[in-house]
Amino acid sequence: MTEFWLISAPGEKTCQQTWDKMMAATTRSNNLSANHKFNIPDLKVGTLDVLVGLSDELAKLDSFVESVVKKVAQYMADVLEDSRDKVQENLLANGVDLVTYITRFQWDMAKYPIKQSLKNISEIISKQVTQIDNDLKARASAYNNLKGNLQNLERKNAGSLLTRSLADIVKKDDFVLDSEYLITLLVVVPKTAYTDWQKTYETLAEMVVPRSSNLLFEDNDSGLFSVTLFMKAIDDFKHKARENKKTFYLIDCECILLFGRDRKPAASKKRYVICNCSLQGPLVRWLKVNFSEAFIAWIHIKALRVFVESVLRYGLPVNFQAMLLQPSKKTMKKLREVLNDLYKHLDSSAAAIIDSAMDIPGLNLSQQEYYPYVYYKIDCNLLDFKV
């Protein structure tokens, strides 16, 4: 499990004292969590009205960016479905694993200049991630179309002789080519009718070349036979073959001739076809780069939310310590109790609600997730499966 709690508390005389107090409560007598300072630069505060409006906008942007991060991660897993053990090594942020990036977070001054207003920074992130989302839809559509075409091809190759592609079966040498008078037709004959075919094919029409029929391929039920005749006898031969359709099945010869001369055997392996089309490699690289971009943007949104909410709750001048806690599943409940005791003086009404919830089994306040201290969850479990 990789879940982080991003919290903030007002500074004591110094922010270091706030940090020391939290560390003492969570690690001195019991190791409830692994803790890290979360560095947020001095951002432009703006007016109270702007902060209140921005708080709601950032909440919506947070959900959107998180959804894009998860979509890119999940699509990476879909593309690498035959190599899912390699998915995690491609889900990096700024070249490092996600836990390392979060625990060593540094604001990206180049992408998100702190001289800009908070609203402008949020708009920069929104435009950036919206573009990633749109590009993902376009690339996913192209990849899925190829995948669908490949699956159709595989179904054709796996079907019966009447429905499957014969490109891998017939060869140029199986046909009479470049003749002004002769043509080769293909007929599917059930195994139970082999004898009937051999006895009758020469008499189905005039001008059938004697002993010209050859068994080219057979599956569990049928065989594919060639037969050569004069072109002027094609219509008569087709008519007689249709009269015997319970026994003989004539295949469109012109289509097969095109296959035999012009098409290369189709690859049955999906990866081979995709790689030959120069699609999977660039797609994986694009997903890797843009997952990193989207994830970095997401953590910056979390930082913005902590800053805005801390200013709204704790007031000016800006004086708070942002902290990143990584609890284990076993210590979550106890950690929540310890934090509530530590910070309940900040908002007595919130603390009272949490105290009552802890006394009522089954009551879940996770949808609101309002505590006396600023709190946001960062869940790095981005995939629907374990790798």
pLDDT in tens, 78-112: 888 777 778 889 999 999 999 999 999 999 999 99
Mind listing the pLDDT tens digit for each residue in 192-227? 889 888 988 998 888 999 999 999 998 888 899 999
Comparing 296 with 328, the larger pLDDT belongs to: 296
| Candidate from 184-193, 208-217, 359-368 with smallest mean pLDDT | 359-368
Calpha distance 250→259 (Å, rounded): 16
Let me know: does 48 contact 311? Beta carbons within 8 Å: no
Calpha distance 361→260 (Å, rounded): 72
Calpha distance 226→18 (Å, rounded): 87
Let me know: does 365 contact 357? Beta carbons within 8 Å: yes
Whole-number percent of the chain with pLDDT over 90: 52
140-147 mean pLDDT: 82
> pLDDT averaged over the chain?
84
310-332 mean pLDDT: 94
Side chain identity, residue 22? M
Tell whether the model's pLDDT for residue 77 goes beyond 50.
yes
Q: What phi and psi, each to the nearest 5 degrees, are found at residue 216?
A: -95, -35
Beta strands in the chain (DSSP E): 3-10, 33-37, 182-190, 214-218, 222-230, 249-251, 320-327, 374-379
Q: Which of 61, 87, 82, 3 is nearest to 383 (CA)?
A: 87
Task: Write the CB contacts of 198 (distance below 8 Å, at least 6 apart in sequence).
Answer: 213
Please state whether the predicted TM-score (pTM) of the whole model is above 0.85.
Answer: no
